[in-house]
Structure 1
Amino acid sequence: MDRAKPAVAGRSITAGADFLQLDVGEAPPGGRADWLAARLRAAIADGRVPVGARLPASRVLAAELGVSRGVVTEAYQRLTEDGQVVGRGRAGTVVVATPAAVVTRPPAPPPRPPEVFAARSPGTEVFDALRTAPAELDLTPGVPDLAAFPRAAWLRAERAVLHRLAPADFGYGDPTGTPALRLAVATWLARNRGIRVDPAEVVVVAGVSQALGLLAQVLHADGVHTVAVEDPGSLGVRQHLNNWRLDTPPIPVDAHGLRVDRLEESGAPAVMLTPAHQFPTGVVLDGDRRRRLLRWARRGGVVIEDDYDAEHRYDRPPVPALRGMLPDAVCYTGSVSKLLAPALRIGWVLVPPRWHADLVAAKRMADLGNAALPQLVLAELMDSGALERHLRLLRRRHVRRRDAMIRALREHLPGAVVHGAAAGLHLLVTLPREVDDTALAAAALRRGVKVQPLSWHAQHPQPPGLVLGYAANPPSEIDRALRTLATTLHDLR
């Protein structure tokens, strides 16, 4: 057999590693699956592995490369999620599509960090500015592994949905969301978050950001003009609430979560918090604080619960949602932005019965309801179990990337203290007192690494720190980014 010839469509690539000139020695430590997926993707793109070709059996290719079978299985899984290959049982793994063509653009101008990081408490435009600033290595927190989006499963669900839709289903729908998704969300919440809710109580929204806007309007109309927030806490959340004319006094967060005693002293009628995995510290609201918070709510306080990162817990099952314990006082919101992709703009919100009609009215006036087709596809993924399978895959991958970031921090920034490693998609690292975290983030951006300073997310002084996302980057890139951060910090001193 002449191995220099292209593979024949419909036939197996029996000499996989040799034919594709794969050298596992090129793979970075801890990043073999990423490396193999990239090499196979390139071979499909340039025609060395044409559509219709069958990839080598995973155990065969693993033996040829001298790696574990799990490395090959994960690489094949990524190509499956990208929609480039399909597993066909005994027929093997078959190439069904080439990667989308990459549109080349002129190089972007160099970033201008002084504009992005001009102020300790930046304006509402800062996230757009940072998002569009060019950077080779992006450690933005809250971004999932977008390359892992389950394209093949989504396409299968979409085909199934389109096959059974009647013409009337393409018209205007219920502003609260499609019945199918509301039922799927209610089932998901009961199974995963300990919340028993009638599907009629679920309102589908365009992510947590829209949920906050709608809640702000409803609360403001009911005479609530102040919503206390965690400190440190999400700058974006604070900006959303301020945009709807709500004051956001800070309530300190410590190792046990929100200081409920300080909330009681503040006199605020409502509070917004992330009890399952606090942003950005990663702490969980402990049992004593939860009980005290619920007593405060029973006396008339309103709790807005953002179930941030609740599904991404690695050391033990996530704590139950507050909403499941006190539905008459807790407004609850969640989304699939961290489970699938922010681009879907699908979330949900539950409110106490007294506000449900007002919330639905606000949603109707906002946009007449979310697009129905993505809702129906998501419901299909939830009902089929595909979403839970995807979540299990993500958890395994996130643990590896979290561990890679912790190793890189120990090696390159030994003076940093790591917080929030038990869950989520990011780590908080605090730095020595003399460090200016905003200046460090600006200097890192000039060197091609994108991070967020802790000071952005604080109203009261905090130790300097960085909020570092790890979910979207393979271990090799995480190590390179941390090495660059360490060099940057050294040069600033």
Structure 2
Amino acid sequence: MAIQYGISGTTAKGIAASVERGVAEGALGPGAALPSVRRLADELAVSPGTVATAYKELRQRGIVVTRGRGGTVVAPAPAVASRRPPKVPDGLRDLAGGHPDPRLLPSLVPPSRLSPGARSHRSTPRLARLEDAVRDWLRPDGVPVEQVTFAHGALDLIGRLLSVELRPGDGVAMEDPGYHHLLDLVTALGLRVVPVAVDDEGVRPDAVRKALHAGVRALVCSPRAQNPYGGRFSTARRDELVALLRDQPDVLVVENDHASAVAQAPLRTMAGHGLTRWVHVRTVSKFLGTDLRWAAAACDATTLARHDGRLLLTSGWVSHLLQETVLGLMTDEGTRALSARAEEQYGVRRSALLRELRERGIEAHGASGINLWVPVRDESAVVNGLRSHGWWVAAGARFRMAAGPGVRISVADLEPVDAARLASHFAVVLGESEATYGG
């Protein structure tokens, strides 16, 4: 497909930026053919080496691809929802979804007083009482609360920020293994995912350092209840990461504290430790209800202005009815007691399965949250083997990039009495897998 867009520039950087603008503005669609190196060099009166350097940079950033004799073309649009989980087969115990236990969620009752009619919510997008409640929620954990905002969930907020802050092809450091919907989102935005290895303390500093050297423009990570590995920041890990990021004023640091109240681990936030660009995001779906698509965020002043400016141009505001519902639940003593019970129960269930697996010599990770990550040699063999015993767990492929294979087990409604049975079946399946696939 020939292009009509006029590429400009006299340097490699300028030419690359011109192509990138064309992609961002839609003038250069997926599959659009760029001029040959020699032809564009003649048109711009620059050396072929300058154009070749520009094209090389664009390839490295994932904006274009080279197809041999087919020349250089704009990279295909990323697939959306490519990591969607398969449907749970009938009759199996679902330990793959990562959802909270419905028995530990409050009843969702909309507020009795609805909106009095048409009015400009754009002038007052956030309920002042909910802003105060959010500040009271974040402040004890050491998160600066001078600037707060709301969104329709963490993915909505993170997607909006990345689309405002970054350009197609920019690199985003992402946890590996990490949350599959976030990985899909970054790819769908035309951004380049740079995998960052994790361990029981969250993202590893050596991997973050490598990503920074690769020129990433943002880091998205979880300070606790990391999904699917379960890591949580220690104070030493947090401090080491802050030391790396403090001198990176152009890198946006996104903390996704998605489990907060039921994470079974204290928050050790990077916010307020000298970072220039940062945002701390919290959602309530894991302890107030999965239908409450609402998120709160604290951030630096620039990030607040850019997020709210884009929000104003799209949905405008988060429904006041939704805000009233969240406020009612957050300030209800019974709901708070239920959340505390949920956190305790999730910790008991997670610890029980970890103990049972380790007693059988099976390595597993899950320092916080409601998920365990179990490294395995063959994901399909383990998933299918456990299926034959009545269990359904998540194959790790959709969560990982460069990380080794594994399976994710969600323990939110796995009672301790069932942990020993699952661990025994897991050990049998691993033995069968070793016999079949050679260990």
TM norm structure 1: 0.63
Give 1:290 deviation, angstroms: 2.5
Among candidates 212, 217, 221, match of residue 264 of structure 1: 212
C-alpha distance 267-127 of structure 1, shift in aligned 2 (>3 A)? closer
C-alpha distance 245-449 of structure 1, shift in aligned 2 (>3 A)? same
In the other structure, the counterpart of 1:58 is none
In the other structure, the counterpart of 1:231 is 176
- SS of 2:243's partner is helix
Contact 1:180/1:376 (<8 A) preserved: no
In the other structure, the counterpart of 2:341 is 393
In the alignment, is residue 456 of structure 1 matched against residue 398 of structure 2?
A: yes
Give 1:305 deviation, angstroms: 1.0
1:392-448 deviations in Å (ceiling 9; x for gaps): 11122213322432354356xx13112124x211122223xxx30134224544664
Give 1:358 deviation, angstroms: 2.4
Give 1:488 deviation, angstroms: 4.0
Among candidates 167, 174, 187, match of residue 242 of structure 1: 187
In the other structure, the counterpart of 1:90 is none
Counterpart Cα distance in 2 of 1:265 and 1:340:
40
**Percent identity, aligned pairs only?**
24
Counterpart Cα distance in 2 of 1:355 and 1:332:
11
1:37-75 deviations in Å (ceiling 9; x for gaps): xxxxxxxxxxxxxxxxxxxxxxxxxxxxxxxxxxxxxxx
Counterpart Cα distance in 1 of 2:82 and 2:94:
16
C-alpha distance 382-453 of structure 1, shift in aligned 2 (>3 A)? same
In the other structure, the counterpart of 1:361 is 309
Among candidates 222, 238, 243, match of residue 295 of structure 1: 243
Counterpart Cα distance in 2 of 1:224 and 1:350:
27
1:252-288 deviations in Å (ceiling 9; x for gaps): 2245432233233333232111123333322333444
In the other structure, the counterpart of 2:130 is 181
Give 1:338 deviation, angstroms: 1.4
Matches within 5 A, 1:75-154: 124-125=80-81, 128-131=84-87, 133-134=89-90, 136-140=92-96, 142-151=98-107, 154=108
In the other structure, the counterpart of 2:38 is none
| 1:456 partner letter | R
C-alpha distance 336-327 of structure 1, shift in aligned 2 (>3 A)? farther
In the other structure, the counterpart of 1:81 is none
1:428-472 deviations in Å (ceiling 9; x for gaps): 2223xxx3013422454466422123343221142x322111112
Among candidates 474, 477, 481, match of residue 415 of structure 2: 474
Q: CA RMSD in A?
A: 3.0
Among candidates 303, 307, 332, match of residue 384 of structure 1: 332
C-alpha distance 183-484 of structure 1, shift in aligned 2 (>3 A)? same
| 2:254 partner letter | I
TM norm structure 2: 0.70
- SS of 1:304's partner is strand
For structure 1, the 5+ residue unaligned runs are 1-121
C-alpha distance 298-176 of structure 1, shift in aligned 2 (>3 A)? farther
In the other structure, the counterpart of 2:380 is 438
In the other structure, the counterpart of 1:212 is 158
- SS of 2:326's partner is helix
Matches within 5 A, 1:190-209: 190-191=139-140, 193-198=141-146, 201-209=147-155
Runs of 4+ in 1 over 6 A off after TM superposition: none
1:313-371 deviations in Å (ceiling 9; x for gaps): 44xx5033222334642122110011222221111233321232321132233323222
In the alignment, is residue 404 of structure 1 matched against residue 360 of structure 2?
A: no
Counterpart Cα distance in 1 of 2:344 and 2:413:
13
| 1:236 partner letter | H
Counterpart Cα distance in 2 of 1:363 and 1:214:
8
- SS of 1:248's partner is strand
| 2:163 partner letter | Q
Counterpart Cα distance in 2 of 1:469 and 1:146:
14
User: How many residues get paired?
Assistant: 351
- SS of 2:407's partner is strand
Counterpart Cα distance in 2 of 1:443 and 1:308:
31
- SS of 1:229's partner is strand
Counterpart Cα distance in 2 of 1:448 and 1:211:
38
Counterpart Cα distance in 1 of 2:267 and 2:227:
16
Among candidates 317, 323, 326, match of residue 271 of structure 2: 323
Contact 1:217/1:362 (<8 A) preserved: no
C-alpha distance 401-126 of structure 1, shift in aligned 2 (>3 A)? farther
- SS of 1:253's partner is strand
1:212-263 deviations in Å (ceiling 9; x for gaps): 2111111126x88221112222222111111111111112224543223323
Matches within 5 A, 1:159-178: 161-163=111-113, 167-168=116-117, 173-174=121-122, 176-178=125-127
Counterpart Cα distance in 1 of 2:169 and 2:81:
27
Greater fraction of residues in helix: 1
Give 1:140 deviation, angstroms: 2.1
In the other structure, the counterpart of 2:283 is 335
- SS of 1:359's partner is helix
Among candidates 350, 363, 373, match of residue 321 of structure 2: 373
- SS of 1:342's partner is coil
C-alpha distance 135-177 of structure 1, shift in aligned 2 (>3 A)? farther
Counterpart Cα distance in 1 of 2:275 and 2:243:
13
In the other structure, the counterpart of 1:344 is 292
| 1:309 partner letter | A
Contact 1:252/1:262 (<8 A) preserved: no
For structure 2, the 5+ residue unaligned runs are 1-77
Counterpart Cα distance in 2 of 1:173 and 1:268:
36
